[in-house]
Amino acid sequence: MSSAPHFTVKQILNATDIPFPAVVKGWVRTFRQNQFIALNDGTTVQPLQIVVDSSAIDDQTLKNITPGAALEAHGTIVESPGKGQRVEMQAQHIIVHGPADPNSYPLQPKKHSLEFLRSIAHLRFKTNTFGAVFRLRHGLAIAIHEFFHSKDFYYLHSPIITASDCEGAGEMFRVTTLDPKNPPLKEDGSVDWSKDFFGREAHLTVSGQLEAELAAMGLTRVYTFGPTFRAEKSHTTRHLAEFWMVEPEVAFARLDDIMDLAEELLKHLIQYSLQHYPDELAFLQKRLEDEEKQLPKEKRSPMPLIEKLQFVLSEPFQRISYTEAFDILKASKPNRKKKFKYPLTDWGIDFQTEHERYLVEKHFKKPVIIYNYPAEIKAFYMYLNDDGKTVRGMDVLFPGIGEIIGGSERETRIEVLKKRMTQIGIAPDEMQWYLDIRRWGGCPHAGFGLGFDRLVQFVTGMQNIRDAIPFPRYPGYVAY
Ligand code: 4AD
Ligand code: MG
């Protein structure tokens, strides 16, 4: 048997110095005419064609070359005389590591629905669609680290188990080791959390922001990039119970600075995807077009995927205040014709997805950043403007996705902060550390959170966020 080096399919398809001996390992996509294997190892959309001489292969091995089988092929990479591929392998030797019984293997060489693939999420990595999605997801993660690293931001590992509720929304998963059938009780009958593992109540974090703020007060620029957890009962195509967030936090920065940073980051990530993953994007674009063929025209994506990504790069994002956005929405045709499910009534309401989509997709036809939101609908840590009604928060809204980033300039005045904490039921004493960084060497600072899975969803054109993360978790569902 040859002792040639093991190359990935990607390396072989990009090779220029042909012919050369090689070993390749992967999974069979198709096997035609007892002669042509299409092999994929997850490194590219394109499979490698392996030409076998079936008379030289024993019967059992030949029988085992079926879709899904794991095999190793030894041979020579040559220019392909056939159409459809530049190079191919002339195999001298085949070893089937793991056959896949065609009578039971669920992934046949035909189109499967995304819902079906979600129900067999342990197998969907083998498909072209999810290969492309997860390669892009990886590329975006790398690009995020490169982007921040090049700007002297430091990657901060914020804790996953936390003793505080950053967003103050009470949507947290409890972390406990107490016996659910027999928890220690206090005299009043309530659970005595002081007897729990940490000696107090603990939860999974909803955001790394508060800890990032602490770190930024010494390191100037930091970012977190990790899993966050929200026990919100949202059954939408844009919500997960476990999702990944990227949270830069910048000392001496104000609202305008982080709006600039958010726009620069998003454009960089889209540019990076177009540059490094053209084959994946072309494949995903075609997939989306095929899928949308069955839909009525108004339900289809207004632009092909790649054009949409280029379009987002081409123009500055629209920046408007909440009040301006409210006025536009109030005067809009769907509002006047009572087409919105949630009509625009009084200043101060929170915008719904239908409003955000109207602004982005119909009115401005480009990404929109809304800033200076009513204090009432935003978290306690946002800087209160002099009008006493609005805070220096901002949301970046994307077509098809809605909110992809939420951020703010942070409140630095201890008295104002204490008042807002008390209003929403956080005892300031519980978060003395958060006040301390304002007490000693406090300074203006600002940051935001980018929903990483929503970003992946946008770039890959996947309609459902559950198809943008390897193992989705949502209300009523956890597996693996
Ligand atoms: O707007 P959010 O709640 O902001 C924060 O958590 C701040 N602490 C961020 C900061 O200033 N450092 O969440 C930020 C982003 C949203 O814009 C959205 O993209 C994403 O996180 N997100 C979700 N993504 C998937 N599933 C969910 N349930 C999400 N909730 C928020
Ligand atoms: Mg938000």
pLDDT band of residue 96 (cuts 50, 70, 90) is: very high
Q: By alpha-carbon position, which residue is closest to atom 4 of ligand 1?
A: 406
Give the number of whichever ligand sits closest to the CA of residue 451.
1
In the chain, pLDDT over 70 holds for what percent of residues?
A: 100
Residue 2 — very low, low, confident or very high, per pLDDT cuts 50/70/90? low
pLDDT at 168: 79
Smallest-distance ligand from the CA of 250: 1
Q: Is residue 382 part of a domain?
A: yes
Tell me the ligand closest to 473's alpha carbon: 1
Question: Is the CB of 402 within 6 Å of ligand 1?
Answer: no
Same domain, 54 and 135: no
Q: Answer whether residue 18 is part of any domain.
A: yes
Whose alpha carbon is nearest atom 24 of ligand 1? 451
φ, ψ of residue 398 in degrees (nearest 5): -115, 150
The per-residue b/e assignment along 424-439, b for 16 or more CB within 10 angstroms, e otherwise, is eebeeeebeebeebbe
Domain check: are 354 and 405 in the same one? Answer: yes
- The reply to whether ligand 1 has any atom less than 6 angstroms from the CB of 216 is no
Q: Domain check: are 146 and 14 in the same one?
A: no
| Same domain (yes/no): 106, 130 | no
The token pair at 285 is 């674009």
pLDDT single digits (tens) 114-161? 999 999 999 999 999 999 999 999 999 999 999 999 999 999 999 999
For residue 134, being part of any structural domain is answered with yes
228, part of any domain: no
Please state the rounded mean pLDDT for residues 290-317.
92
Report the nearest atom of ligand 1 relative to the CA of 405.
Answer: 17
Phi-psi region of 35 (alpha: psi -120 to 50; beta: other; left: phi over 0): alpha
C-alpha 406 to ligand 2 mean position (Å): 5
In a domain? residue 331: yes
* Ligand 1 atom closest to residue 395's alpha carbon, by position in its atom list: 17
14 shares its domain with 140: no
Quick one: which ligand is closest to 396's CA? 1
On whether both 354 and 436 belong to a single domain, the answer is yes
21: CATH: 2.40.50.140
Are residues 133 and 104 part of one domain?
A: no
pLDDT for the residue 297:
87
How many other CB atoms are found less than 10 A from the CB of residue 159? 15
Q: From the CB of 207, is ligand 1 less than 6 Å away? A: yes
Q: CATH number of the domain at 359, please.
A: 3.30.930.10
Q: How confident is the model at residue 1 (pLDDT cuts 50, 70, 90)?
A: low
pLDDT tens across 421-451, in order?
999 889 999 999 999 999 999 999 999 999 9
Q: Which of 239, 245, 353 to mutate to test the pocket of ligand 1 (most atoms within 8 A of CB)?
A: 245
Give pLDDT, residue 86.
94
Atom of ligand 1 nearest to the CA of 206: 6
Judged on CB neighbours under 10 Å (0-12, 13-18, 19+), 282 is: middle
Q: Quick one: which atom of ligand 1 is closest to the CA of 239?
A: 26
Q: In which domain, by residue range, is 282 found?
A: 126-150+260-464
448 lines ligand 1 (CB under 6 A): yes
Q: Which of 137, 243, 351 to mutate to test the pocket of ligand 1 (most atoms within 8 A of CB)?
A: 243
What residue has token string 């085992």? Answer: 64
**Same domain flag for 25 and 146:** no
Q: What is the pLDDT of residues 294-306, one digit of tens each?
A: 899 888 888 999 9
Ligand having the closest approach to the CA of 238: 1
Separation of alpha carbons 52 and 415, rounded Å? 77
Q: Is there a single domain that holds both residue 433 and residue 310?
A: yes
445 three-state secondary structure: strand
Provide the phi-psi class of 476: left if phi over 0, else alpha when psi is between -120 and 50, else beta: left
Taking the whole predicted model, whether its pTM rises above 0.95 is answered as: yes
For ligand 1, is residue 403 a contact (CB within 6 Å)?
Answer: yes
Structure confidence at residue 109 as a pLDDT band (50, 70, 90) = confident
Q: Which amino acid is at 113?
A: S
Taking the centre of ligand 2 as the mean of its atom positions, its distance from the CA of residue 161, in whole angstroms, is 21
- Asked if 412 and 289 sit in the same domain, the reply is yes
Q: Looking at the structure, do residues 41 and 130 belong to the same domain, yes or no? A: no
| Ligand 2 centroid distance, CA of 395 (Å) | 7
pLDDT at 182 over 70: yes
**Is there a domain that residue 286 lies in?**
yes
Q: Classify residue 19 by burial, with Cβ atoms within 10 Å: 0-12, 13-18, 19+.
A: middle
* Domain count for the chain: 2
**CA quadruple 180, 183, 187, 192: dihedral sign:** negative
CA distance 247 to 159: 13
**Residue 169 in domain:** no
- In this prediction, residues 349-373 reach a mean pLDDT of 95
273 CB near ligand 1 (under 6 Å): no
Instruction: Assign residue 388 a region (left: φ > 0; alpha: ψ between -120 and 50; beta: otherwise).
Output: left
- Tell me the CA–centroid distance for residue 325 and ligand 1, in Å: 21
- Structural domain contains residue 383: yes
The finding on whether 266 has its CB within 6 A of some atom of ligand 1 is no
Q: CA-CA distance, 38 to 88, in Å (whole number)?
A: 10
Instruction: Mark whether 381 and 299 lie in a shared domain.
Output: yes
Is the C-beta atom of 455 inside 6 A of ligand 1?
Answer: no
Place of tokens 């600039």: 260
| Contacts for 379 with CB less than 8 Å, ≥ 6 apart | 166, 167, 168, 393, 408
Both tokens of 227, joined, read 């899993």
Residue nearest to atom 20 of ligand 1 (CA): 451
Could you tell me if the CB of 453 is within 6 A of ligand 1?
Answer: yes
In this structure, the residue with its CA closest to atom 27 of ligand 1 is: 239
What residue owns the CA closest to ligand 1's atom 2?
406
